[in-house]
């Protein structure tokens, strides 16, 4: 695997967008692209694209540009998408259910293997082909099935405890949809998705449309 340790977080955060974009190009049967053309399409400067790709050995060829399929596959490998990650969802409320049914995760190689909840009315119901399990079986489940990523869609008050339980079982990545910031050791990767943050930003911006010169 590539040594991703030295790559700045800002670059890593741009990779999924490159990956998606190159996937679209592949679907359009576009086989090669220059950094200039990629830059125009993606609204990122060509030098930024070159700098970003240089972290991973360049990928480009002078006078040829980038081989789209090769670049797509290489970025996929850097992100680990070629290996595939298994996931669980904890909190089978509206958001947890919607995420479980979201086909985009599976398309990217993320496999949902378990859904947990504490509500007796929800436990045992079926979502996305899986029966919702009682949260009391979390440790038992994680001792038997390898899980890479825990998706947390429980309320704020419950999330820290649940996160600690999951991490204690060796899960290294958490996707946190609750509004609490998690306090965990450094060797756990956490991505926070606070869905109403962009809504609040939009709220600000739509009030200023037409008022700015």
Where does this chain touch ligand ATP (CB under 6 A) — which range of 4-12, 66-74, 93-101, 195-203? 93-101
Footprint (CB under 6 A) of ligand ATP, residues 33-52: none
Distance from C-alpha of 110 to C-alpha of 191, rounded to nearest angstrom: 15
Distance from C-alpha of 155 to C-alpha of 133, rounded to nearest angstrom: 17
- CB of 192: closest distance to ligand ATP in angstroms? 15
Footprint (CB under 6 A) of ligand ATP, residues 104-143: 116-119, 122, 135
Distance from C-alpha of 135 to C-alpha of 123, rounded to nearest angstrom: 9
Distance from C-alpha of 185 to C-alpha of 8, rounded to nearest angstrom: 20
Spatial strand order of the sheet with 60-61 comes to: 32-33, 65-67, 60-61
Element (H, E) at 87: strand 85-90
Determine if 26 is a binding residue for ligand ATP (CB under 6 A). no
Please report, in angstroms and rounded to a whole number, the separation of the first and last CA atoms in the chain. 50
Interface with ligand ATP: number of residues (CB under 6 A): 18
Where does this chain touch ligand ATP (CB under 6 A) — which range of 41-49, 141-149, 151-159, 203-211? 151-159
Distance from C-alpha of 133 to C-alpha of 113, rounded to nearest angstrom: 11
Among 153, 160, 174, 176, binds ligand ATP (CB under 6 A): 153
Half-sphere CA count of 7, side-chain side, radius 13 A: 18
- CB of 135: closest distance to ligand ATP in angstroms? 4
Where does this chain touch ligand ATP (CB under 6 A) — which range of 139-147, 149-157, 186-194, 203-211? 149-157
Determine if 100 is a binding residue for ligand ATP (CB under 6 A). no
Among 27, 62, 94, 183, binds ligand ATP (CB under 6 A): 94
In the complex, the residues that contact ligand ATP under the rule CB under 6 A are 90-96, 116-119, 122, 135, 153-155, 158, 162
């Amino acid at each position: 695997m590539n040594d991703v340790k030295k790559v700045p977080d800002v670059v890593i955060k741009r990779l999924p967008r490159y990956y998606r974009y190159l996937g679209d190009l592949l679907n359009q049967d576009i086989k090669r692209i220059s950094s200039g053309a990629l830059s125009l399409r993606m609204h990122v400067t060509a030098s930024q694209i070159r700098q970003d790709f240089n972290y991973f050995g360049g990928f480009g060829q002078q006078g040829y540009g980038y081989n789209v399929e090769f670049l797509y596959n290489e970025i996929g490998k850097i992100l680990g998408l070629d290996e595939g990650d298994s996931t669980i969802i904890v909190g089978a409320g509206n958001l947890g259910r919607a995420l479980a049914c979201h086909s985009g995760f599976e398309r990217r190689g993320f496999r949902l293997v378990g859904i947990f909840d504490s509500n007796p009315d929800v436990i045992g119901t079926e979502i996305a082909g899986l029966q919702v399990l009682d949260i009391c079986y979390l440790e038992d489940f994680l001792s038997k099935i390898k899980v890479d990523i825990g998706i947390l869609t429980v309320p704020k008050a419950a999330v820290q405890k649940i996160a600690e339980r999951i991490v204690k079982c060796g899960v290294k990545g958490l996707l946190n949809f609750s509004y609490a910031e998690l306090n965990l050791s450094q060797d756990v990767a956490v991505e926070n998705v606070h869905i109403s943050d962009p809504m609040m930003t939009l709220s600000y911006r739509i009030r200023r449309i037409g008022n700015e010169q």
